[in-house]
Amino acid sequence: MRVNKYIQLHAIILLWGFTPVFGKAISLPAFDLVWYRLLLAGIALYAFARFKGVSLKTDGRSLLEIFGIGSIVGLHWFAFYHAIKVSNVSITMAGFSTITLFASLMQPVLLGKRFYWSDLIYGLILAFGLLLIIDVEQVYIAGILWGILAALTSAFFGVYNGRLIRKHEPIKITLIEFAGAFITLNVMMLFAEGRTEFIAFPGWEDWIYLLLLSILCTAVAFTWSIHILKKFTPLTVIITNNLEPIYGIGFSILLFGSSEYMSLQFYIGAAIILISIFTYPFIQRKLYGG
């Protein structure tokens, strides 16, 4: 059983590893990409909920609470894909790796769990690895900053979903959050500078990538990730999710080649980040037996 739940967790992260690849492959701007992603994923998930007979009823207070978290989800996805559009996958995933630092600080506050100094220390080590990357890749500073914002927002709703899963079904949480994200994104688009049309129409190749991104990497993986919070703490999921940069950068180098090649210092900084991620569970177990 223990092995099975870890296999599930890594299957989710593998799916998420394709999201930055699809983000680069899809020719649409970040707003339009996320708009279609939310619309298609929401339709697919709603159809599945109806087929399974899942009740979506909830009280007004819970509805507003989950809807509000959905707004953070919408901001996260825009920041994530905008980072890719203004830089590349490697830079975006490096900035996104700071998610552990944010999550280690948020979990004690949002979930009332014990604070571990080792979590903060690991977060600072991750930040140091990021500083090495920023020092040498200043041309991509916008991508790094947007990647960090994506990490901050992802850490918040990732941890907060650990509270929501105590009272609500994963599909219900996901659908309401998607609704909040979709409405928030539409409001952001109304005030975005430089938009000549409300929404662009994808080409046929974009449709293929959008369907894969929306159904497999969003409707399935997002709901699955909330469900698995019954078995893991949010911080454990988030720390393991730092494998996503390995998958994302690896897939991108294979598919996009030289546009993803970075300097030696970039890879030193990335190595510091990844070594910290891999050693975290062992150190935590040694120190606290968890």
For the segment 114-160, what is each residue's pLDDT rounded down to a tens digit?
A: 766 777 777 778 777 767 766 666 667 888 889 999 999 999 998 89
- Percent of the chain with pLDDT strictly greater than 90: 33
pLDDT for position 89: 82
- Spatial contact of 226 and 174, defined as CB atoms under 8 Å apart: yes
pLDDT for position 115: 67
Averaged pLDDT, 277-281: 68
Q: Using CA atoms, how far apart are residues 281 and 227, in angstroms rounded to an integer?
A: 21
Domain count, the chain: 1
Residue 290 DSSP label: -
- Token pair, residue 142, equals 């916008």
User: For the whole model, what pTM was predicted?
Assistant: 0.83
More confident residue, 85 or 7: 85
Q: Tell me whether residue 77 is in a domain.
A: yes
Q: What is the pLDDT of residues 189-227, one digit of tens each?
A: 988 877 777 788 899 999 999 999 999 999 998 888 888
Q: Tell me whether residue 94 is in a domain.
A: yes
**Which of these, 174, 164, 229, 165, lies nearest to 49 by C-alpha position?**
174
Residue 166 DSSP label: T
Q: Please report which confidence band the pLDDT of residue 259 belongs to, taking 50, 70 and 90 as the band edges.
A: low
Q: Tell me whether residue 1 is in a domain.
A: no
Q: Tell me whether residue 89 is in a domain.
A: yes
Lowest mean pLDDT segment, chosen from 5-14, 44-53, 61-70, 179-188 = 5-14
Going by C-beta distance under 8 Å and a sequence separation of 6 or more, which residues neighbour residue 237? Answer: 9, 158, 225, 228, 229
Q: Using CA atoms, how far apart are residues 211 and 43, in angstroms rounded to an integer?
A: 11
Averaged pLDDT, 99-107: 79
Please provide the average confidence, as pLDDT, over all residues in the chain: 83
- Token pair, residue 270, equals 């990335």
**276: number of Cβ within 10 Å:** 22
DSSP-assigned letters across all residues of 42-96? HHHHHHHHHHHT------HHHHHHHHHHHHHHHHHHHHHHHHHHHS-HHHHHHHH
3-class secondary structure, 29? coil
Domain that holds residue 102: 29-288
Q: Tell me whether residue 16 is in a domain.
A: no
Q: What is the pLDDT of residues 157-168, one digit of tens each?
A: 988 988 898 889
Q: Please report which confidence band the pLDDT of residue 233 belongs to, taking 50, 70 and 90 as the band edges.
A: confident
**Which of these, 219, 191, 193, 172, lies nearest to 41 by C-alpha position?**
219
